Amino acid sequence: MPASKSTSKKATPAKKAVPTKAAAPTKKPATTKSAPAKKAAPAKKAAPAATKPPTKKAAPAATKPPVKKAAPAKKASSAATKATASAAQKAREKAALDTKKKREAEAKAKHAAQAAKKKIDEKRARENAAQKAKKQREADALAAKKAREKAAADKLRAKEAAKKAREQETIRKQKEREAEVARKIREKEAAEAAKRKEAEAKQQANEKERLRRQKEMERRELEERKRREREEALRLKAEQELQRKRSSKPYADDKAFLDEIRALLLAELDITNQQIVALDSQADELLVDREHVEFDGESNMDFGTDFDREQVKEHAERLRDKAEQIGTALQFVEAGSYGRCDNCYERIPKDRLRFQIPAFLCTSCRVFF
């Protein structure tokens, strides 16, 4: 019994050959190179070490029951067959498992190779994008440099032009100063010559004084005549300006605005006419009511009806005046002169013409009328 236990115990550790699959960690280099991972597959050939059936032949000795000693040979053969079949089954299972693991390793290696290729492609794409971005930055830098150079050249030209203009201005001022000095010299010489002539003409002072006075009177008369002519010219100019304002057409060129004003005037005229018709009918109704009141003999109601009717008639008259003004405004619109103040003949603002329908005075003149 101790011998059989020892043999059986020694047979089971033979299965420890399975850990030869530890070669699988060789997949770690698959991140860079996928080919070396496939070389680790041959390490699985160590698995047949687990299929050593001879070590299990000692099992029959372990399974011999101490009581049944009659048929030891038959039991030993059946136990050996079972051990052989079990070992073969385990070998097949291990081979299938090794095959499966090999396929999984190959699949993982293939996947790792694809991932590595994808990473390489992505890296190349990033490098291409970086190169394109670098080229673009270089192009932008070159364009900016050219723009700066152009701006510097333009600034230099402007500076030179300003310098040239300053030089020309300096030359012009110098010439003006020289001309002023020459003029003063000529005036001084003329004054000295006049003094000399005055000294020489002292003997004819009386005659010259008379002539001077005569010339002074003539000059004054001429100045007075010129002043009157200027005043007359200003008066004529003012009259012409007033006449021009009276015949001006401030919005003749703005056809759209005149059409807008025409539409507003027509709409206001329509509303005014409707109000006049309504007030006339109301006055007629009040007149009929008065006749009924007279028939009934109620004097107080008679007075109230007359008062209301007079108010309605006055309102209708005001609306008729407004309708006449709108008609006049429409005539001005057709003539193109609408929008001119009737007092100062200046242009009336568009906002007032739109708000006040019709409007014949500007805001300033409306205060005094």
DSSP secondary structure, 200-213, as one string: HTGGGHHHHHHHHH
In one-letter notation, the amino acid at residue 274 is Q
Closest by alpha carbon to 337, among 328, 354, 363, 320? 328
pLDDT tens, N- to C-terminus, the chain (369 residues): 333 343 333 434 444 433 444 334 444 433 334 433 444 334 344 334 344 444 444 444 444 444 444 444 445 567 778 888 888 888 888 888 888 888 888 888 888 888 888 889 898 899 999 999 999 999 999 999 999 999 999 999 999 999 999 999 999 999 999 999 999 999 999 999 988 888 787 888 888 788 889 999 999 999 999 999 999 999 888 888 878 777 778 888 888 988 999 999 999 999 999 998 988 888 777 776 555 454 444 444 444 466 777 888 888 899 999 999 999 999 988 888 888 888 888 888 989 888 988 888 888 888 776
Q: What is the pLDDT of residue 14?
A: 40
User: Would you state the pLDDT for residue 285?
Assistant: 79
pLDDT at 220: 94
Give how far Cα 342 sits from Cα of 131, 242, 243, 269, 369, Å.
Answer: 79, 12, 13, 21, 11
pLDDT for 306 equals 66
The DSSP letter of residue 149 is H
58 CB-near residues (< 8 Å, 6+ apart): 3, 4, 7, 8, 11
Separation between Cα atoms, residue 329 and residue 338, nearest integer Å = 7
Measured CA to CA, the distance from residue 109 to residue 28 in angstroms comes to 10
What is the DSSP secondary structure assignment for residue 247, as one 8-state letter?
A: T
- pLDDT recorded at residue 75: 52
d(CA 24, CA 105): 7
Q: What pTM was computed for the model?
A: 0.35
Within 10 Å of residue 120's Cβ, how many Cβ atoms? 10
Residues 6+ apart with CB under 8 A from 80: 57, 59, 60
CA atoms within 13 A on the CB side of 239: 6
Would you state the structure tokens that stand for residue 241, as one six-digit string? 């300006």
Q: What is the pLDDT of residue 214?
A: 92
The DSSP annotation for 61-105 comes to HHH--SS--S-HHHHHHHHHHHHHHHHHHHHHHHHHHHHHHHHHH
CA–CA dist 321, 162 (Å, integer): 69
